[in-house]
Every structure is written in C-alpha cells, then in structure tokens.
Amino acid sequence: MEVNSSVAVFDSKTIRRLWHKEEWFFSVVDVVGALTDSEDPRKYWNKLNQRLREESNESVTFCHQLKMPATDGKYYQTDCANIEGLFRIIQSIPSKKAEPFKLWLAKTGYERIQEIVNPELSINRARSTWLQQGHSQRWIQQRMMGQEVRNKLTDYWREHEIKERMEFAILTNIIHKEWSELSVKEHKAIKGLENQNLRDHMTDAELIFTALAELATRKIAETVNATGLPENKVVSKEGGGIAKRAREDLEKKTNKKIVSEKNYLPEKKKQLNS
C-alpha cells in the first residue's frame, strides 16, 4: 500500500482515503455505502450526484477525480471529496448515521495532522485497530514485521525506476500469485473481502509466507541490481517461487493448506477464535 493511501473503518465499513495536497480525500462511493447500507452505493451516488448538479448544488464542486485502488488491485479514477466537501454531501443523504459519521470524520482529519507531527501515533492507532478486529499480539507483531519487509521492497522499487502505482500493483500481484497460486483479487474473493486490505485479514501463516516472498524478491533484486519493470517482473517471480516451494513443503508435512478462507470481518470473529 502506498504511504499516502490507506483505508479507514466506520461502523465496520471500509472507506478508502488518500492524503492529497496536505489533507485527506475520501471515496464518496464508500461514504455513501457506509451511510445508506445501499446494495449498490455507486448507483446511489450517481443518482444523487445527478440530482445535485441539476439543482446547481455547490457540494458537487468539492468532488475530485483521484486514483484509488479497487478490489482487483488496480487503480481507477474515483470521485473523492475532502472533509469539507463530505460534510456538504452528507447533508443531502438521509441517514441516522450522519451525525456519528461527521464526528468520526472530524476526528479522522485531526488524527492525520497529529500523526505527521508524531509518527508513533500512527503505529499505536494501527495496533489499537487490529486489537479491536480481534487480532492477537503475536499476529500484530507479524503484521508489523511483514509491513517493514514490504516497505523495504517498495523503497527498492522506487529507487530502481518503478514509479507508477500500476507497476507496484503488477509486481505485487506477480509475487503473490507465485507463492500462493492466487492473484490478490482471487485471494480476497476466497476470504469474502471487498475493499478491505488483504493483509489485515491474513492468518499468521499467510503473513509469514507473504513476507518471505517479498524478502526473497528484494534480496534477489539487490543481488542482480534489477532495474525497471521487465527486470523486476522476473525477480518477483523468482522471489515468489522461493516462498511457494517452502509453502508446498510445509503443506506436504502437515497435510494442511496455507491459504485460508478465514478473515477478520465482524461476523467471522467466532470462526477465527474457534
């Protein structure tokens, strides 16, 4: 995940957000989904957007098209609004969740400013969120270790002519598909995920093999000085292959699959703790 892109959670609903021009911009479709529980938030927003434009409502002028990750791991232009814009849009949505959401939104903006001044707050907030989702302290340590491995890999990519987000997504998917034999999208589908971060719903074993694949990829890349997308594609497949062989060996010894359908969505907590 890019450092300026993340997700937030309101009332168990995932809301994509992007740090852009020194402020948070949120996916309007995700916000609509959180407020309305609509089965098709995109259709709901399209109709509302059309009505607001017909009424010359100035709230739509606060919307910007920004690239955000979709469920397939690719980035698409998405209607986004900053906190001020969302406050105006929310006024046009009849929802009992509107006031709680406004409070949550104001707090979210404040937290980001505080985190810039003191990055440790961001780490502590992540820990708190994971604990609320039902993760153990051991899982959190593994998640943070894996993120550090991931950060070192993406730092290498940036320094070796991998600049576009699409290229990051391509390489990430190659590594993931090689070790797990599933694309990121397929893995999320097995777990019943939509906009959620796949890594936040991995089991201990899945986190470990993901980290192994990315660690191996970086080590190989550093050895051969892989530069640009074509060379890093080859290295990503090799790094993922190392983790794949380790996964296959463990599965043979234990007769248990590493890739799991388990997740940390609220309705699945009992399953994980059973």
Average pLDDT, stretch 115-132? 63
Residue 180 C-alpha from the chain's centroid = 19
Quickly state the pLDDT bin for 271 (edges 50, 70, 90). Answer: very low
Domain holding 196, by residue range, is 136-273
- 59: nearest Cα among 48, 68, 47: 48
Rounded to the nearest integer, the mean pLDDT of the chain is 85
Q: Are residues 141 and 112 in the same domain?
A: no
Buried b (16+ CB within 10 A) or exposed e, 9-40: ebeebbbbbbeeeeebbbbbbbbbbbbbeeee
Domain-embedded: residue 146: yes
Q: Are residues 191 and 68 in the same domain?
A: no
Q: Are residues 148 and 253 in the same domain?
A: yes
Distance (Å, whole) CA 149 – CA 212: 9
Average pLDDT, stretch 115-129? 61
Which range has the worst mean pLDDT, 151-160, 247-256, 258-267? 258-267
Which range has the worst mean pLDDT, 11-25, 119-133, 242-256? 119-133
**pLDDT tens readout for residues 99-119:** 888 888 877 765 654 554 455
Domain-embedded: residue 13: yes
Is residue 258 within a helix (H) or strand (E), and if so which, with residue range? Answer: none
Domain-embedded: residue 191: yes
Q: Is the pLDDT of residue 2 over 60?
A: no
Model confidence, pTM: 0.57
**pLDDT tens readout for residues 219-243:** 999 999 999 999 999 999 999 999 9
Q: Is the pLDDT of residue 169 over 80?
A: yes
3-state SS class at 115: helix
Average pLDDT, stretch 118-133? 67
**pLDDT tens readout for residues 31-82:** 999 999 788 999 999 999 888 888 777 666 778 899 888 877 788 899 999 8
Q: Are residues 86 and 193 in the same domain?
A: no
Domain-embedded: residue 126: no
Q: How many domains does the chain contain in total? A: 2
Q: Are residues 40 and 109 in the same domain?
A: yes
Domain-embedded: residue 125: no
Domain-embedded: residue 165: yes
Q: Are residues 109 and 157 in the same domain?
A: no
pLDDT at residue 176, as a whole number: 97
